Structure 1
């Protein structure tokens, strides 16, 4: 597609969205899965007011850890697999591979995991409603895998 046409900008927006979504899934995989159910219950009982609020929002989402893990991994995989398809429409095949690997490594893995390993409770609480939607959307695929 020619640079700067409507299709170019739509594809570019989709590419950015896919990278951000993959990053969110990757960060949440580390951030939410590192929070044990007992840890969350302890925070609800004896944490700071902010931690109590965050833990209370996260606990229902994290209760079924296998389903959560499958959901986050499916979402991450879908985004990472779709990214080169859209990039391939804008650049050469080699360019799509190089750009895809670089974007996913930096913004889909390293940066989100660094942030979520430090602020997993706050990030998890902030996006808990999104995670609930994903749990519902991916349930038909994620549930059988999680068993």
Structure 2
């Protein structure tokens, strides 16, 4: 593993295209988020592509809204986004010969200040990833259909 990155992987019994559709629809992020911080997408969330911007309602102790931008993109293989901070959330999909897909989620904090590390965010994010990947696996293996509450709430 690269220095200042937290990565975990899971093999999902689903094609990369199905998994990528889930990941690239920010309205669905709350369905598989294992950190407990993602609440709902509020803007620009459907079918993310290179340079796409989207906003999320979040909660980490207190509610807040965060604006994100897709900074890494290769259709059906890679998507990564960041907000005002320098760290990147990255998803890499690797189709395997047996029809499954290895999915690796990475929290890349290469350019973060030492204080961020001392506050324990990398370990906290590792725990979130470890909770997220099984949720994504279950969702994708069940066919990837959106849950009834996936539609954006504009109220």
- Normalised to the residue count of structure 2, the TM-score between the two structures is 0.28
- More helix by percentage: 1
Q: Which has the larger radius of gyration?
A: 1
- More strand by percentage: 2
- Normalised to the residue count of structure 1, the TM-score between the two structures is 0.29
